[in-house]
Amino acid sequence: MLIALTVMPHPTMAQSRPTDLPRQFYGKVQIVDSTTLEFVRTKQLVRLAGFEAPRLDQMATSESVSWPAGQVSRAWMILRTLGQDVNCAPIGRDRNKVLIAHCFVGETNLAATAIAEGIGYAFNYRDEPRVPAYFDIERKARGLGYGVWSSPGLIPPWLYSTPMTKPATQDPEQPETTPGLPLPLPVAKKTGDVNDAHGG
């Protein structure tokens, strides 16, 4: 269920909005990663303002249970936008000239809702527009221990370094694996289980 969180841009944002920015992008999107969308028709890249999420290869541990935090955050964003029209209002550009925007599905603010559900963090890179309301939303999610806040050892993505690739001398019999969504292990059938259960 989507939470309708209406977060208006801070007054200083509106005043400092560059005049060369497009007013709006609207349509279906492809999720590049947890924070970046690509509009299908125009191929325009947009990054969510004031929001950061675990890197795709980051793993979390909550109450001794490991889970792929980066993949969960990306899957969350895919499910919230799949088949939906997304409306983005650009407010600036990052150092790579990618548009930064507030993006909505209907009246639901994607970044604010993700932060409220513990999918990611309120965060602003240097020289990017701040969204103070997101930090208030994050404090509540943190207090409730939602999502990323349920894993005390999870490194914030802006401090995380991707682990180095394994050396080429790796045992060829041990294929390199990438973290995926956890699946239950198959239950091995024991011979005689049926007979034992029935006393035979």
> Residue holding tokens 């209406």?
6
pLDDT in tens, the chain (200 residues): 444 454 544 444 444 556 678 889 999 999 999 999 999 999 999 999 999 999 999 999 999 999 999 999 999 999 999 999 999 999 999 988 899 999 999 999 999 999 999 999 999 888 888 899 999 999 999 999 999 999 999 999 999 886 654 433 333 333 333 333 444 444 444 444 444 444 44
> The tokens 């041990």 sit on which residue?
174
Q: How far apart are CA 118 and CA 154, in angstroms?
A: 12
Cβ burial, residue 198 (10 Å; 0-12/13-18/19+): exposed
**Residue 50: is it exposed, middle or buried by C-beta count within 10 angstroms (0-12/13-18/19+)?**
buried
The pairing of beta strand 99-105 with beta strand 108-109? antiparallel
Scanning 54-192, the segments in alpha helix (DSSP H) are 69-81, 110-116, 132-144
Give the distance, in angstroms, between the CA of residue 48 and the centroid of all CA atoms in the same chain: 10
Domains and CATH numbers, the chain: 11-150 (2.40.50.90)
- The pLDDT tens digits for 18-51 are 667 888 999 999 999 999 999 999 999 999 999 9
* Sequential DSSP letters for 47-66: EETTEE---TT--EEETTEE
